[in-house]
Structure 1
């Protein structure tokens, strides 16, 4: 005959069972939680936005995240090229009903998956209601497979950029130290503030010679945008100008894999760590997916 449990043992067992039930509820909640969405955008082309996305994806996957890159630069998609991948289809095929979304997902380095856009096919940048519906249904199927969705938007202030960045948990604005890039970054922040009421932005300053240059860019943008737009612009960090980046691009391989000890690679690893440690506000959960259902893309 087994001995009776003491009152203290019974209390401990009850606490353990309650903790187990709590853990299971948390696991269930996490399993049903939509992916965290990070939109990476820029005010102008040529600042290295897509290359930043490709390398951040690899680094976040290294940190244990299940990463999907949505190449939403619908007129000039090239994340697949930067990762050395050859698309067999694109989002245009999905929204037109010609392909299933699973047929076009590319499996890249470090277990990063890529959903390619339609490079050079500008006609799909305006989606009809039927096309938008197909896109929503297709993307909704992917929610349970990934915990991180990196969206590479187009550059500038088109309706597509506003659409894809508008529902993200974090919006990362990539600039370089050039005055024109700073002015264009202000323009895209202004539009996203006015059209989508986004009040917080992460600034990533690319191709700097010194870290102090990133501070200068941030201070200038924060001073103007904070005064006139009432937004919070946080300095996510910088990436050094590094010839290793161009060599990696020519080899169609992320610099963090080709030259892991390069200064740019170390910067990108730190940026991925900072993004990974950020928590999205509770009220933003599922906002990206809700927007897909509610909004349309218009010229």
Structure 2
């Protein structure tokens, strides 16, 4: 374990990713830990949390054990989106009042949720010690699930970068808006140049049709190929669907409320594709854990 001084700074950077995987496997022989997928965006307002909730629900309906970690620590709203009123949240874990396993609540379709807090500014500036504690506690839960989805905040704050590079896979959500495309590129650039992340999945939300989604993917891939040394896997799109907005107002995922709508069918297809895909583990086993560099 890395050495940590009294100020919360990590001193030793010698812990390897392969040591982390060995530790996780040791706790439950014969069972693989969950795939940890960070779902993120450069710009807010792209429907990322709705994507996470519906994708998680669809994965559960397909027979997977799914945990969603609401990692928008200061403005978490996944519980509100799902009509849940958890008694405890991540702030109680950080304060030492609860364990991570004790704050998990059940959502629709037996989906499990790790709720964040809302309106607590201190959680947006976690120390290295606090980040490490969350990381270790989350690792201890991985054997209980098939897939863990991390719903990050938007942008390029240290918390956003931390949760992205702590995951095995990164999925970037973007909309056809130019500002969303630009910010998605900026996020991938930082993760690539500073933290050596080289593979991303791309999901286009709120597309009018498949052609528009393909064009967004083409634009991003073209710029990334020219200026970044990264691989972008176009994962698919979710169309504009008024039923999604209706579900938000009713605090229900559209996949549960209206399973035969365009968006719901797309979510089912995306869940099927994700469950059947090979894990996108882009980081080298021999590289020190990147999250140790993020303060």
Q: Give TM-score, length-normalised by structure 1.
A: 0.83
Shift of 1:129: 4.4
Higher Rg: 1
Distance 1:39 1:230, change over 3 A: same
Mapped to 1, the partners of 2:282 and 2:210 lie a distance apart of 34
SS at match of 2:200: strand
1:147-158 mapped onto 2 (5 Å cutoff): 147-158=146-157
Mapped to 1, the partners of 2:125 and 2:179 lie a distance apart of 28
Distance 1:195 1:92, change over 3 A: farther
Is 2:181 aligned against 1:182? yes
Q: Which segments of 5 or more consecutive residues in structure 2 lack a partner in the other structure? A: 1-27
Shift of 1:29: 5.4
Contact 1:176 1:206 in 2 (8 A): yes
Give the count of matched residue pairs.
267
Shift of 1:132: 3.3
Distance 1:254 1:286, change over 3 A: farther
Instruction: Indicate the residue corresponding to 1:194 in structure 2.
Output: 193
Contact 1:94 1:134 in 2 (8 A): no
Instruction: Indicate the residue corresponding to 1:113 in structure 2.
Output: 112
Contact 2:196 2:283 in 1 (8 A): no
Is 2:61 aligned against 1:62? yes
Shift of 1:69: 0.3
Is 2:221 aligned against 1:226? no
Greater fraction helix = 1
Contact 2:39 2:171 in 1 (8 A): yes
Instruction: Indicate the residue corresponding to 2:17 in structure 1.
Output: none
Mapped to 1, the partners of 2:35 and 2:150 lie a distance apart of 11
Tell me the C-alpha RMSD between the 2 structures: 2.2
Q: Which segments of 5 or more consecutive residues in structure 1 lack a partner in the other structure? A: 1-27
1:196-275 mapped onto 2 (5 Å cutoff): 196-275=195-274
Mapped to 2, the partners of 1:129 and 1:86 lie a distance apart of 29
1:31-180 mapped onto 2 (5 Å cutoff): 31=31, 33-180=32-179
Mapped to 2, the partners of 1:184 and 1:281 lie a distance apart of 22
Contact 2:197 2:283 in 1 (8 A): no
Mapped to 1, the partners of 2:246 and 2:199 lie a distance apart of 34
Mapped to 2, the partners of 1:296 and 1:81 lie a distance apart of 33
Shift of 1:284: 5.9
Contact 1:34 1:286 in 2 (8 A): no
Q: Give TM-score, length-normalised by structure 2.
A: 0.84
Contact 1:166 1:196 in 2 (8 A): yes
Q: Deviations over 1:136-172 (max 9, x none)?
A: 4422331221121100011011111111011322211
Task: Select which of 277, 292, 295 maps to 1:295.
Answer: 292
Q: Deviations over 1:18-71 (max 9, x none)?
A: xxxxxxxxxx7541x221011100111100000000000011111111111010
Q: Deviations over 1:107-127 (max 9, x none)?
A: 111111100112221211222
SS at match of 1:143: helix
User: Which deviates the most, 50-59 or 91-100?
Assistant: 91-100
Q: Deviations over 1:201-230 (max 9, x none)?
A: 111111111110011001100000111011
